[in-house]
Amino acid sequence: MEDREQRLKEVARIAVSLEAQTGCPAALLIAQWALESKWGAKPAGHANYFGIKAAARHEMCCIETTREVINGKTVVQELQFADYDSLEASCRDYAWLITHGAPYHAAWGRYQGDKDLHALIAAVAGTYATDPNYAHLAAAIASQTNIAQAIAAARHEVTTNAAA
């Protein structure tokens, strides 16, 4: 459990920084990181912690075996995923995807107006994942006390370092 908490602290620091830079909610980023990489323990390739599929913008790629839900049935597929040099690079691309990616444009626009995290999670999940339970799982993780505590600690660290 200690390793998981260390990974959570690390991703929370990055998520809080990216939230300040991009507006992408730290809780959303952390929830999808937790779901897609088993709390940071199993990234795709070297460092794809979000299960982001390869696109033209990606310089590094890898092939991974994954489970997708297609027409209500779980199907095992080998797909091409983006890969990254680091957790931070993976998180930065995820934040870009949510805040600038065409599939999430409408959801992001609504979030800019209402700041409803759970509505954003539901809207993103419908496009991001094929699992029909994904939105529920992501919302449950985003609402966990340990997530809120990790984000608060990372924000406190940023504030303390800025004041020093």
Catalytic positions, written as ranges: 68, 93
Which residue type occupies 12? A
How many CB atoms are located within 10 Å of the residue 122 CB?
Answer: 16
- To which residue do tokens 């690079």 refer? 89
84-30-21 Cα angle (round to 5): 75
- Give the N- to C-terminal CA distance of the chain in Å, as an integer: 32
* CA angle in degrees (0–180, nearest 5) for 121-123-126: 100
